[in-house]
Amino acid sequence: MNPRRFLRLVSGAMAALGISAAAIVALNLRGEDPLPSAETLKPTPALVAQGEYLTRVGNCMACHTVQGGAPFAGGRGIETPFGVVYSSNLTPDKATGLGAWTSAEFWRAMHNGRGKDGRLLYPAFPYTSYTHVTREDSDAIFAYLQSLPPVAQANKAHALRFPYSTQAALGVWRALFFTPADAAQPATPTPQALAAAQVPDYQRGAYLVNGLGHCAACHTPRNSLGAEQQGQALAGGLIPVQNWLAPALTDAGQAGVQRWPQADVVALLKTGVAPQASVIGPMAEVVFRSTQYLSDADARAMAVYLQALPQHAATPAKQAAAPASVMERGAKVYEAQCAQCHGAQGQGAKDEAGQPAFPPLAGNRAVVLADPTNLVRVVLQGGYLPATAGNPRPHGMPPFQHLLGDEDVAAVTTFVRNSWGNQAAGVGTIEVYRARERRTP
């Protein structure tokens, strides 16, 4: 976003809400208690083991480890629409990591998004979700991180554009879009939510999905200032900069699992594959580094919560028939490049054990999403499932970006989206170009 537009938006929002500079300071201190003067946490082997498990649930290593680098030593660049934020060193090195931190300071970072010195943290660190984490779980995570070998690796300065690089702008953003969990006014629950809350495991699942799991970070659409859109929790959206579509968990036509057998939801979380779907793209990394390690009880709890989400299916728009010339071209590309694995009728294939090997394309909801970005990305860059304990040797799809031009990719994806009973809008070459270059519309 243009910095001037950002300033105009912030100024307008402040005026509309009657927020003054003093109010901004007050709003950013909501829910914060004075830090105790002494450390009281006493790590035990059980607490460290619990923290290791919770750290995996939160997928902390994914952002805080560079490829080939020491685990949790930070330095990974997280691209945002406003510049690059570099993850911090979480090892117990006293000079560059968390070695001089207390558990209370760590809790303040998790719950309130503040660093050791009190500075506001950027929400690329998802404290907007982690604020729901309990103090007990925060202490366990801290105990585990303190047990790691210290790594002396200085933190990199963020590379954000002005005015996004200023604490003042971040303070305004937080005043507008962030309230610590214990200071939030609970919304009046709907009768459906009250009924779901009585189901065993629902509360635990809600805690994991909305807290450490920070599923909303990808699966909730964001506004022009990078904040999650109110009232659209888990309703899907394009992941900023990565430009993968995180489909809606509240729509059975996208990624909703309400109608699935519970065991299949658990299988998808723990292995990356289920009879109805498989994970690729950013979600494959989440399964590989995080959800495959869920306990059976926690995976079941997440499944219970996800299946209880209210569903809001979008009304499908009528689609014009794809041009015959495009379908003919797509059919030729499909026969030459795709049919060997996915079948002449898009039926897919199973391995010797009867498990899904190559997913069916006929009736595949990921194929007919209104936004074809993911399908185009898979054709261009390949699709790779995570290697998990439950699926240690997954099949993968090779990339075709070196073999197929934009017109061929557009034709074959249009063909797949409109064959064997599938019906969806055709894909244009401009959409393929944007996916190839990772550009947004």
- Note the pLDDT tens digit of each residue in 59-78: 999 999 999 999 999 999 99
The CA distance from 337 to 340, in Å, is 7
**Residue 271 exposed, middle or buried by CB count within 10 Å (0-12, 13-18, 19+):** buried
Cα-atom radius of gyration of the chain, to the nearest Å?
A: 23
Q: What is the pLDDT of residues 333-359, one digit of tens each?
A: 999 999 999 999 999 988 777 777 889
| pLDDT cut 70: percent of the chain above it | 85
Q: What is the pTM of this model?
A: 0.87
What is the rounded distance in angstroms from the CA atom of residue 371 to the CA atom of residue 364?
14
Give 364's Cβ-side CA count (13 Å radius): 25
Does pLDDT of 49 surpass 80? yes
Structure letter (DSSP) for residue 396: E
Give the pLDDT score at 28. 58
At residue 38, the pLDDT reads: 61
CB 35 within 8 A of CB 105: yes
Tokens (6 digits) for 295: 């306990």
Is 90 exceeded by the pLDDT of residue 187? no
- Residue 141, classed as helix, strand or coil, is helix
Model confidence at 18: pLDDT above 60: no
Find out whether 348 and 333 touch, Cβ atoms under 8 Å.
no
Q: Is residue 211 pLDDT above 80, yes or no? A: yes
If you ran DSSP here, which 8-state letter would residue 177 be given? H
Report how far residue 41's alpha carbon sits from residue 54's, in angstroms, rounded to the nearest whole number.
17
Q: Please give the average per-residue pLDDT across 11-18, as a whole number.
A: 53
Percentage of residues of the chain with pLDDT beyond 90: 75
